[in-house]
Amino acid sequence: MNGPLVIAIDGPSAAGKGTLARRLAAHFGLPHLDTGLLYRAVGLKSLRSGRPPVEIAASLEASDLSDPELRTDSAGQQGSKVAVMLEVRDKLLNFQKKFASQSSGAVLDGRDIGTVICPDAPVKFFVTASPEARAERRYQELREQGVDTIKPRVLAEMAERDRRDSERAAAPLKAAPDAFLLDTSDMDADAAFAAALAFITRKGFRSSGP
Ligand code: CDP
């Protein structure tokens, strides 16, 4: 028999991980952790206070994760800068592992969930899309937030973050060998959800809901 349903979702920014994670969590009634928020919160709080990121990571509080500014692109860049620090990652490790080991099961999304945080998760996805498709989505998101920007700039900033996330020594962005690869370049959110659900069903998990 299957143990708890733990769903690990990794991939680069604006590939659709967050949307997929939220929908799967709602469908299966599982708690969801957007682990990127942890790194964003450490980066932002450190920038504001001038305190070292490792010190912030060691004393992060739940209220730090609800700041609306965490959603901005500059918080994403700050997050990616502190995410290269092994000491910062170490401080955030236990919280994430504990979240993943709840008896209910859980959904976590990030960059190293299937490789480092939950290497034994029964369901892993690596969600990706072409840089152009991701930049287009991020551009539309930013426009909706009222941010004045241009597409080449969004593409360049995304490429910079992708490079930092993939080339760092500590837990770089990469697909776990047993991850299901989901390329969402030509998929909308419904299609990505349907493909993910089909994979989870093939693994023998069913929604317990009505
Ligand atoms: O939403 P988006 O994919 O743009 O970014 P995010 O998931 O909020 O992550 C922000 C930054 O945190 C990333 O660029 C990574 O450098 C870092 N991160 C990480 O190193 N490990 C994770 N598990 C999650 C995020």
The pLDDT score that the predictor gives to residue 191 is: 97
- Residue 8 exposed, middle or buried by CB count within 10 Å (0-12, 13-18, 19+): buried
> Is the shortest distance between the CB of 76 and ligand 1 below 6 Å?
yes
| Residues in CB range of 191: below 8 A, 6 or more apart | 184
> Is the shortest distance between the CB of 114 and ligand 1 below 6 Å?
no
Taken in order 77, 68, 38, 43, is the CA torsion positive or negative? positive
Give me ligand 1 centre to Cα 17, in Å: 11
The pLDDT score that the predictor gives to residue 74 is: 87
Give me ligand 1 centre to Cα 210, in Å: 34
pLDDT > 80? residue 210: no
Name the pTM for this structure.
0.94
Model confidence band, residue 152 (pLDDT cutoffs 50, 70, 90) = very high
The pLDDT score that the predictor gives to residue 27 is: 97
Share of the chain above pLDDT 70, in %: 98
Q: What is the pLDDT of residues 102-134, one digit of tens each?
A: 999 999 999 999 999 999 999 999 999 999 999
- Name the residue at shortest CA distance from atom 6 of ligand 1: 36
> Which of these, 64, 181, 61, 173, lies nearest to 113 by C-alpha position?
173
Give me ligand 1 centre to Cα 78, in Å: 10
Q: Which atom of ligand 1 is nearest to the CA of 76?
A: 10
